[in-house]
Amino acid sequence: MAYWLVKSEPSAWSWEQQVAKGAKGEPWTGVRNFTARQNLNAMKKGDLAFFYHSNEGKEIVGIAEIIREAYPDPTDKTGRFVCVDIKASKPLKTPVTIAAVKADRRLADIALVKYSRLSVQPVTPAEWKLVCEMGGL
DNA sequence: GCCAACGTTGGC
DNA sequence: GCCAACGTTGGC
């Protein structure tokens, strides 16, 4: 099982909206970047992903689960990009801010800091554990 | 609202 | 296939 991080601006799609979708989940569409697409394609059913709020909040707010593996993104007219379905798994007790991540030397190499513009990122097991602890889980 | 970083596009 | 121009992202 692999770990990931997905980013969304809450004004476009928020954790609260994701939670409201319940077990049915929601297609994670709109990715238009090839590196991010690679990551979407590598996702397996049952993988977990941190849900990060960019711009507003700038914090990891919850954990989502991949419930459907990559398929063509219906919002992409060119047919080049894919999406997956994810459902909210559980919130962090305490959101982990980008500032807190940057302040922790053990997270210096996390993609969230190194490749800040990448919208779908891999997370290592060590990073996953740390962020969960910081989030009170 | 600014600006740095960086991915994508298109002309050559 | 290179590279300049352009657009977008996202933290501050």
CATH 3.40.50.170 fits A3-134, yes or no: no
Label residue A64 left, alpha or beta by phi (over 0 means left) and psi (-120 to 50 means alpha): beta
The H or E element spanning position A74 is none
Tens of pLDDT, residues A57-103: 999 999 999 999 999 999 887 888 999 999 999 999 999 999 999 99
Q: How far in angstroms lies nucleotide B12's C1' from the CA of residue A10? A: 42
Residues near A11 by beta carbon (within 8 Å), at least 6 away in sequence: A55, A56
pLDDT of residue A53: 96
Query: Residue A78 has what pLDDT?
Result: 83
Report the alpha-carbon distance of residue A97 to residue A30 in Å, rounded: 24
Neighbours of A20 (CB within 10 A): 10
Average pLDDT rounded to a whole number, residues A101-121:
94
Q: How far is CA A5 from CA A77, A100, A112, in A?
A: 25, 16, 8
Distance of A112 CA from B6 C1′ (whole Å): 15
The residue that minimises its CA distance to C1' of B8 is A33
Check whether A128 has a pLDDT greater than 90.
yes
pLDDT at A79: 85
Question: What does pTM read for this prediction?
Answer: 0.94
Asked if residue A38 keeps its beta carbon closer than 7 A to nucleic acid strand B, the reply is no
Strand C: which residues have Cβ below 7 Å from it?
Answer: A 7, 9, 54-55, 58, 98-99, 102, 116-119
